C-alpha cells in the first residue's frame, strides 16, 4: 500500500505514513509531499519524516518525481502524521525554485519568504505534528532608487539628462550635475557605471570642463580597486568554482570583477603602495605569502618583572608555611590540647587549600586579536571568492529562559535585539530562544521583538550604535553625540527612542492582554457549552466543566503551558513548539527605503536583512527526566543542527546581552587561527551591570574572572562558566580533537603526541570517539558513521549534519600542515539551503521527550547531565578528551549581564554552585580520575573545584576558635613567643605581596580583592556548609537536590531606586551560621576584656591574640551585617530571636562545661 499526499491545489499538506513491523525489526517508510526537497530527512521510528537518501527495506533508493517520494510498504500497520498548511492569499506554498540563487533574487519579496516564519509547528509524543498558519507581516520588498535620482552612493539629487535621454553616458548610468562635474574634474573623466571615458561634454558645461578633460587625459589612469565599488548585481556568478571539472574563465572573471591585469588588480591589491616610491622609481610588489600567514591572534606573556617575583613569593610562602606548621606540631599547648588540636587541623587544611588554589596561577597569559586580518582572509575578494562574500563559518546563538516571572520578557527581548544587530554576516547567524516554561507570554514577546528589530537593527548598522541593547543604549548617562557625524542621527535617534518606548509598553502590557483575551474566549466557550447542553436537553443545574485555556491572538489554544494547568498544558506536560519568527535571509544584501510614514529611518544605504530567529519549547511529559537547563540546551543543539547547522555555537543567558558587537569576530579569530582546530570553546569573562558601587557581595567576582581564569588560559584553558561561550559543535558532540597530548611521569613532564584522526596509525581507546572524515576509501569512517544513530538518536537529518558541521568548522587549507584536513577558501561563500516545512517538522521530532532514550545525549554528547553545575562538568569532559579552550578578554566588554544584589539571592546562587561542586567531587567527574590528556596543573584546578566547599567545615570551626579562646582564657599556642610572631608575620606579608602582584598582572584593584576575601568567608560560613550537607544527603540517602532559578532583576522605571533590591531582607536558614559567629565573637570579646581587666594576674598577650582573631572574623563579616540592617536599620524579628537563643545556649553550655573559679553552688540545681 502506498500512502500519497493530496495534490489538490487547494491545500498544501505534508502527509507522512509510518509503518512498523517486519522480520528484521521495526521498519519505517513514508510518503512525503514537501514544497522543497531536502538532501537528508530523518528515518527516526518516532519521527514523522525520512528522506530520499534513506534506503528502503530492500536496500534500494527511493525515486522522486515532482518533489514526491513514493515507496512500497511491506506491512499493514500505519501511523499517519499530517502537517496541513492551508494556503491563503498571504501564504502560498514554497516553490522548489528557491533552491537556486538566481531564483532567490527574482522571487525575493514574494509570499514564499514568509511561509515558514508565518507557521507555528507543534508535536510530540502520541500527538500529531501540526503546522498552524499565523498572521504575520510580509517581508519587505527590496526598494531601489528612483530612476530619476543620481546613482552615486550617498547622493539623492535629480539626475541630469543627456542627448539620448539616458544620461551623459551610453551605458545609461544616472548621475546628477554636481557628481558629473566631480567625475570630470577628479575622476579622470570616466563614467562611474561602465568605467569608460565620457565621449563628449555639453556646451553649457563651460571651458572648465574642457580644461578638466585635458588635464585628465594627460594624467595616468588609476587602476580600479575592489574596495572602491560594489559589484553589479546584474552579473552572474562565476560557475567554474562550483564545477571543478570546468576550466576557469579568466577573461570572464576579470570582466565580472572589473579587474585589470598586473599590479593593482582585484587579486593584487595596491595596499597603499605606489609607483615611484622605491629605488629608481620601482617598488617591489607586496609579499602575499607573508600576508596570508599573518596570525589572527597573539599571546602576550605577563612581564617577567612581575611574574618572576610572583612565583618566588609563592615558593617563599610555601616554605614558610612548612616551617610554621612543623613548629606548631612540635610545640603543642599542653594547657589546652583540645584547642591546639582543632587549630592545627584547620591550619593544615587551609595550607592544602591555598596550595591547590595557588598552583594553577603560576602561568597567566593575555591574548589579543587582529580583526583586520580576519576581514582580509575571509571577507575580501580573491580567486576563489571573486565577489568578496563572507567565507566565515555560521554561528548559532542559544538563549535560554524558563520562567517569565523570574526572568522578565523585556530583559530577554533586549538580549535578542543585541544578537540580531551583531556585527557578523547576517546570513551566517541564527538565533534560537529556548523557552523551557512553554509560556505564551515569552512567545508573544518574541514576536514583538522580531517586529521592532526591523527598525532597531538598521538603525544600529547605520550609525554604529554601541551597545546594541536598546535599554542599555538609551539608559547611558553620557553624551550620545560623541563620534557621531551624520546629520540625520539626532532625528532618527529620537524616532527610534519613541518607538522603543512604545515597544516597552506593548511588552509590559502583554500579561494583562493575554489574561483578558483568555477570559473572553473562555467565557464564550462556557456559553457555547451551556447552549449545547440546552440543545441536547441536559440538566441545567449540573456544572459544566470547561477548561480554562490560554488563547493565542488568532483565537486558537496555546499548545504550551496554560495559566491554569490542565492535562497536556502544564509546565511539565506540554507539546513541543517551534516557530521561525524570522526566516533565513537572502545571500545578497537588501537595502531599505527612504524615511516616510512607514519607515522611521532612511535605510537606503543600510542592509536591512535580519538573522533567522526561532522560538523553541521542547516537549515535556510526565515520567521523563527533562534535566533542567542542560536538557533544554541539548534540545537546541539538535534543533539547530537540522535548521541551520552552524559549526559554532554561542550560548547566552537571557539576561546576558552582547555589549560589543564585534565579540563574535573576536572569538572566531581563535577558532580560525593556526592550531584552532584543537580549541573546543572560547570563554569570555562575565561582566555585570546594576551592581551597587561598593560591590557589597563581590558580585563582579573579578578575582575569579581576571585572575584564576587568565591563569588557566596559560595551561589547558579556562573552565566553562555557563554563559558567554563560543563552542565548536563537534566538540559538543563528544568527538575527540584531531590532535592531543598525553602527559606521563611525575607531574606530566613526559609528553606523547597523538593524532586521533589517523586510526590506522594510533590505536584508539575503547571510549574514543573519532570524528568521521569524508573519505570514501576509509572503512573505519564507515563504521563510525554506522554508530552515529546509537549515539545521537534515530534522526538521519541530525546524523547527516555532523560531517557537514565538521567540514565547515575546519581551518583553511593554507593554514594546515601536510597530511591535515582543511577546507578550501571560499567554500562557505555560498547561499544557505532554504528552510521548508519538512525540515521544521523533523526538528519537532528531535525535541520530543523520548528522543534521548537509549542515546548518549547527556552522557557524552552535548551538555552533561547529573549536576546542577552542568557547565563545569561539560567543560571538564572536553578537556579530559584532550581539547583546549581559550580565554578571550576584549578591550570593550564582550557581554554584560545582571547579578543578584540581594543578600539572600546571592547566597542561594552560591549555594547552587557549591552544591554542584560537591556533586562533582563524589562523581566520576572528579579530577582524580582524569585521563592523561589533561595537564597536571589543569587537573589540580579541577580537583580544587570539587574540594573548596569542604573548606567551610574547617572555616566555621576556626571562626569559633577566637571566641572559645576568649571564653577560656587559653590560646592556640601556650605563649606568644617571638618564633610564632615571626612566622605569622612572614605568612601575612607574603600573602599581601602576592595580592599586590596579582593586582598588577590581572588589572583588578585592591578594593575588589578585599571584597572577594570578605565574601569568601561569608559564603564559607553560610552557603558552602549547606552545600556539603546537601551533597552528602544525595550521595548517601539519594535525596534529590532542588534547583532554584536565580531571579533576574527587571529594568527599573524612571525615578525608582536602581539598588532598591540591595536593602531588601529575605530570611533564609543560610543566615543562621554567620549571625551566630558574629554574636558569639562579640560576646566573647566583651567577656575576655572584662575578665582580663578584673583579673588578679591579667594575661594581656592571650587577650590580644584572641581579640585580634575575633576582629579579623568580624571584619570579614561586616558586609553581611550591613546587609541585615536594610535601608533604615530594619531587621526581621526572627533574626534577633535566632541569634539570641543560639548565643544564650552556647554561653550556658560553655559555663556548664568550664565554670569559673570560686564557689559553684549555683551549679548544683536540684528539683524540689
Q: Annotated catalytic sites, by residue?
A: 436, 871
Q: What is the DSSP letter of 557?
A: B
Distance CA 889, CA 669 (A): 13
Q: How many CB atoms lie within 10 A of CB 1108?
A: 10
Retrieve residue 265's grid coordinates: 588588480
Per DSSP, helices labelled H in 585-701 are 628-643, 663-672
Q: How many CB atoms lie within 10 A of CB 1118?
A: 13
Distance CA 210, CA 204 (A): 11
Which contacts of 178-186 are long-range, i.e. CB under 8 A and separated by 24 or more positions? 179/150, 179/152, 179/155, 181/205, 181/209, 184/209, 184/212, 184/213, 184/216, 185/212, 185/216
Q: Sort strands 612-617 and 429-435 into parallel, antiparallel or unpaired.
A: parallel
Q: How many CB atoms lie within 10 A of CB 753?
A: 9
Per-residue DSSP letters for 399-424?
EEE--TTTS-HHHHHHHHHHHHT-SS
Cis, peptide link before residue 620, omega less than 30° from 0: no
Distance spanning both ends of the chain, measured CA to CA: 98
Q: How many CB atoms lie within 10 A of CB 225?
A: 15
Cis, peptide link before residue 467, omega less than 30° from 0: yes
Beta strands in 195-348 (DSSP E): 297-301
CA distances to 796, 868, 951 from 79, rounded to whole Å, are: 19, 39, 58
Retrieve residue 764's grid coordinates: 584508539
Q: Sort strands 68-70 and 63-65 into parallel, antiparallel or unpaired.
A: antiparallel
Give the Cα-Cα-Cα angle 855, 859, 864 (nearest 5 degrees): 130
Retrieve residue 82's grid coordinates: 499530517
Helix axes 1072-1093, 1133-1153, angle to 10 degrees: 50
Cβ-contact 936, 725 below 8 angstroms: no
Retrieve residue 461's grid coordinates: 548598522
Per DSSP, helices labelled H in 379-509 are 409-420, 440-463, 470-474, 489-508
Radius of gyration of the chain (CA): 35
CA distances to 22, 54, 681, 903, 1074 from 1119, rounded to whole Å, are: 70, 64, 36, 10, 11
Q: Which helix (H) or strand (E) covers residue 430, if one does? A: strand 429-435
CA distances to 50, 336, 824 from 383, rounded to whole Å, are: 39, 84, 11
Q: Which helix (H) or strand (E) covers residue 532, if one does? A: helix 510-535
SS3 91: strand
- 796 φ/ψ angles, rounded to the nearest 5 degrees: -70, -30
Distance CA 576, CA 105 (A): 34
Beta strands in 719-869 (DSSP E): 725-728, 739-744, 750-755
CA distances to 743, 853, 1108, 1116 from 749, rounded to whole Å, are: 7, 42, 44, 40
SS3 212: helix
Contacts of 890 (CB under 8 A, 6+ apart): 660, 662, 663, 666, 684
Retrieve residue 591's grid coordinates: 537595502
Cβ-contact 824, 384 below 8 angstroms: yes
Amino acid at each position: 500500500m502506498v500512502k500519497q499526499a493530496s495534490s489538490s491545489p487547494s491545500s498544501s499538506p505534508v502527509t507522512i505514513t509510518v509503518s512498523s513491523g517486519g522480520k528484521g525489526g521495526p521498519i519505517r517508510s513514508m510518503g512525503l509531499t514537501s514544497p522543497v526537497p531536502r538532501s537528508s530527512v530523518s528515518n527516526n521510528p518516532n519521527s514523522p519524516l525520512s528522506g530520499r537518501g534513506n534506503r528502503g527495506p530492500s536496500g534500494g533508493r527511493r525515486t522522486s518525481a515532482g518533489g514526491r517520494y513514493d515507496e512500497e510498504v511491506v506491512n499493514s500497520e500505519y501511523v499517519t502524521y499530517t502537517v496541513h498548511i492551508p494556503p491563503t492569499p498571504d501564504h502560498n506554498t514554497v516553490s522548489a525554485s528557491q533552491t537556486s540563487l538566481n531564483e532567490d533574487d527574482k522571487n525575493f519579496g514574494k509570499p514564499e519568504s514568509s511561509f515558514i516564519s508565518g507557521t507555528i509547528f507543534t508535536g510530540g509524543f502520541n500527538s500529531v505534528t501540526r503546522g498552524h498558519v499565523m498572521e504575520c507581516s510580509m517581508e519587505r520588498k527590496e526598494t531601489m532608487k528612483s530612476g530619476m535620482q543620481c546613482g552615486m552612493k550617498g547622493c539623492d539629487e535629480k539626475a541630469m539628462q543627456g542627448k539620448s535621454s539616458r544620461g551623459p553616458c551610453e551605458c545609461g548610468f544616472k548621475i546628477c550635475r554636481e557628481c558629473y562635474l566631480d567625475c570630470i574634474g577628479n575622476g579622470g573623466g570616466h563614467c562611474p557605471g561602465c568605467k569608460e571615458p565620457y565621449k563628449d561634454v555639453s556646451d553649457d558645461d563651460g571651458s572648465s570642463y574642457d580644461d578638466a578633460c585635458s588635464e585628465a587625459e594627460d594624467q595616468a589612469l588609476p587602476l580600479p580597486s575592489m574596495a572602491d565599488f560594489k559589484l553589479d548585481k546584474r552579473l552572474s556568478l562565476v560557475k567554474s568554482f562550483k564545477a571543478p571539472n570546468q576550466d576557469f574563465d579568466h577573461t570572464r572573471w576579470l570582466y565580472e570583477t572589473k579587474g585589470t591585469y598586473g599590479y593593482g588588480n582585484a587579486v593584487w591589491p595596491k595596499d597603499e603602495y605606489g609607483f615611484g616610491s622605491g629605488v629608481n622609481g620601482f617598488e617591489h610588489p607586496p609579499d602575499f605569502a607573508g600576508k596570508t600567514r599573518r596570525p589572527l591572534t597573539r599571546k602576550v606573556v605577563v612581564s617577567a618583572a612581575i611574574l618572576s617575583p610572583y612565583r618566588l613569593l609563592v615558593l617563599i610562602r610555601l616554605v614558610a608555611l612548612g616551617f610554621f606548621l612543623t613548629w606548631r606540631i612540635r610545640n603543642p599547648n599542653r594547657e589546652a590540647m583540645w584547642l591546639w588540636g582543632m587549630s592545627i587541623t584547620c591550619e593544615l587544611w587551609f595550607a592544602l587549600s591555598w596550595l591547590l588554589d595557588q598552583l594553577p596561577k603560576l602561568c597567566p597569559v593575555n591574548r589579543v586579536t587582529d580583526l583586520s586580518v580576519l576581514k582580509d582572509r575571509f571577507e575580501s575578494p580573491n580567486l576563489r571568492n571573486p565577489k568578496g562574500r563572507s567565507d566565515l563559518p555560521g554561528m548559532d546563538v542559544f538563549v535560554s529562559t524558563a520562567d517569565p516571572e523570574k526572568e522578565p520578557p523585556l530583559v530577554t527581548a533586549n538580549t535578542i535585539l543585541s544578537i540580531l544587530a551583531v556585527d557578523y554576516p547576517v546570513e551566517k547567524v541564527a538565533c534560537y530562544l529556548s523557552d523551557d516554561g512553554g509560556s505564551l507570554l515569552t512567545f508573544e514577546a518574541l514576536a514583538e521583538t522580531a517586529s521592532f528589530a526591523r527598525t532597531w537593527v538598521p538603525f544600529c548598522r547605520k550609525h554604529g550604535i554601541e551597545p546594541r541593547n536598546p535599554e542599555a543604549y538609551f539608559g547611558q548617562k553620557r553624551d550620545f553625540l560623541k563620534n557621531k557625524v551624520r546629520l540625520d542621527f539626532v532625528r532618527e535617534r529620537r524616532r527610534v527612542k519613541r518607538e522603543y518606548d512604545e515597544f516597552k509598553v506593548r511588552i509590559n502590557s502583554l500579561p494583562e492582554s493575554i489574561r483578558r483575551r483568555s477570559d473572553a474566549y473562555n467565557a464564550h466557550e462556557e456559553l457555547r457549552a451551556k447552549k449545547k447542553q440546552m440543545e441536547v436537553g441536559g440538566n441545567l443545574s449540573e456544572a459544566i466543566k470547561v477548561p480554562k485555556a490560554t488563547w493565542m491572538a488568532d483565537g486558537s489554544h496555546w499548545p504550551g503551558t496554560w495559566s491554569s494547568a490542565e492535562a497536556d498544558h502544564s509546565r511539565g506536560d506540554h507539546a513541543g513548539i517551534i516557530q521561525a519568527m524570522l526566516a533565513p535571509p537572502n545571500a545578497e544584501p537588501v537595502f531599505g527605503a527612504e524615511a516616510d510614514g512607514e519607515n522611521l529611518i532612511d535605510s537606503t544605504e543600510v542592509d536591512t536583512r535580519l538573522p533567522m530567529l526561532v522560538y523553541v519549547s521542547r516537549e515535556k511529559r510526565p515520567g521523563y527526566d527533562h534535566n533542567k537547563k542542560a536538557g533544554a540546551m541539548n534540545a537546541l543543539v539538535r534543533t539547530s543542527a537540522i535548521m541551520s547547522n552552524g559549526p559554532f555555537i554561542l550560548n547566552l543567558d537571557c539576561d546576558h546581552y552582547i555589549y560589543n558587537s564585534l565579540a563574535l569576530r573576536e572569538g572566531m579569530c581563535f577558532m580560525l587561527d593556526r592550531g584552532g582546530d584543537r580549541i573546543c570553546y572560547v570563554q569570555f569573562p562575565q561582566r555585570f551591570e546594576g551592581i551597587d558601587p561598593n560591590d557589597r557581595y563581590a558580585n563582579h567576582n573579578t578575582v575569579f574572572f581576571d585572575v584564576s581564569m587568565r591563569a588557566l588560559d596559560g595551561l589547558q584553558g579556562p573552565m566553562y562558566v555557563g554563559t558567554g561561550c563560543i563552542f565548536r559543535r563537534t566538540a559538543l558532540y563528544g568527538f575527540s580533537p584531531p590532535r592531543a597530548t598525553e602527559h606521563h611521569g611525575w607531574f606530566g613532564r613526559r609528553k606523547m603526541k597523538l593524532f586521533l584522526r589517523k586510526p590506522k596509525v594510533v590505536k584508539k581507546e575503547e571510549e574514543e570517539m573519532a570524528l568521521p572524515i569524508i573519505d570514501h576509501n576509509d572503512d573505519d569512517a564507515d563504521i563510525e558513521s554506522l554508530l552515529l544513530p546509537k549515539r545521537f538518536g534515530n534522526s538521519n537529518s541530525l546524523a547527516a549534519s555532523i560531517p557537514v558541521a565538521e567540514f565547515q568548522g575546519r581551518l583553511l587549507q593554507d593554514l594546515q600542515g601536510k597530511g591535515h584536513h582543511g577546507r578550501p577558501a571560499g567554500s562557505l561563500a555560498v547561499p544557505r539551503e532554504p528552510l521548508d516545512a519538512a525540515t521544521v517538522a523533523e526538528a519537532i521530532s528531535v525535541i520530543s521527550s523520548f528522543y534521548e532514550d537509549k542515546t548518549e545525549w547527556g552522557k557524552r554528547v552535548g551538555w552533561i547531565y547529573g549536576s546542577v553545575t552542568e557547565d563545569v562538568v561539560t567543560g571538564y569532559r572536553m578537556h579530559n578528551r584532550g581539547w583546549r579552550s581559550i580565554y578571550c578578554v576584549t578591550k570593550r566588554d564582550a557581554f554584560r549581564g545582571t547579578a543578584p544584589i540581594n543578600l539572600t539571592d546571592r547566597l542561594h546562587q552560591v549555594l547552587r554552585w557549591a552544591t554542584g561542586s560537591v556533586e562533582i567531587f563524589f562523581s566520576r567527574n572528579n579530577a582524580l580520575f582524569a585521563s592523561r590528556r589533561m595537564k597536571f596543573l589543569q587537573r589540580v584546578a579541577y580537583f580544587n573545584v570539587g574540594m573548596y566547599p569542604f573548606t567551610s567545615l574547617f572555616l566555621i570551626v576556626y571562626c569559633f576558635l577566637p571566641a572559645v579562646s576568649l571564653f577560656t582564657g587559653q590560646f592556640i599556642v601556650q605563649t606568644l613567643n617571638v618564633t610564632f610572631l615571626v612566622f605569622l608575620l612572614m605568612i601575612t606579608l607574603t600573602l599581601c605581596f602576592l595580592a599586590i602582584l596579582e593586582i598588577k598582572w590581572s588589572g583588578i584593584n585592591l578594593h575588589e580583592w578585599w571584597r572577594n576575601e570578605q565574601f569568601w568567608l561569608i559564603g564559607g560560613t553560610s552557603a558552602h556548609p549547606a552545600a556539603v550537607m546537601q551533597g552528602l544527603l544525595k550521595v548517601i540517602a539519594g535525596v534529590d537536590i532542588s534547583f532554584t532559578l536565580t531571579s533576574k532583576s527587571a529594568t527599573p522605571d524612571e525615578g525608582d531606586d536602581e539598588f532598591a533590591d540591595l536593602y531588601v531582607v529575605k530570611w533564609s536558614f543560610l543566615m543562621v551560621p554567620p549571625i551566630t559567629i558574629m554574636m558569639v565573637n562579640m560576646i566573647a570579646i566583651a567577656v575576655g576584656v572584662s575578665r582580663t581587666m578584673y583579673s588578679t594576674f591579667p594575661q594581656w598577650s592571650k587577650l590580644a591574640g584572641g581579640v585580634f582573631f575575633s576582629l579579623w572574623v568580624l571584619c570579614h563579616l561586616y558586609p553581611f551585617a550591613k546587609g541585615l540592617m536594610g535601608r533604615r536599620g530594619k531587621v526581621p524579628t526572627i533574626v534577633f530571636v535566632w541569634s539570641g537563643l543560639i548565643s544564650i545556649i552556647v554561653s550556658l553550655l560553655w559555663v556548664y562545661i568550664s565554670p569559673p573559679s570560686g564557689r559553684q553552688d549555683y551549679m548544683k540545681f536540684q528539683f524540689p
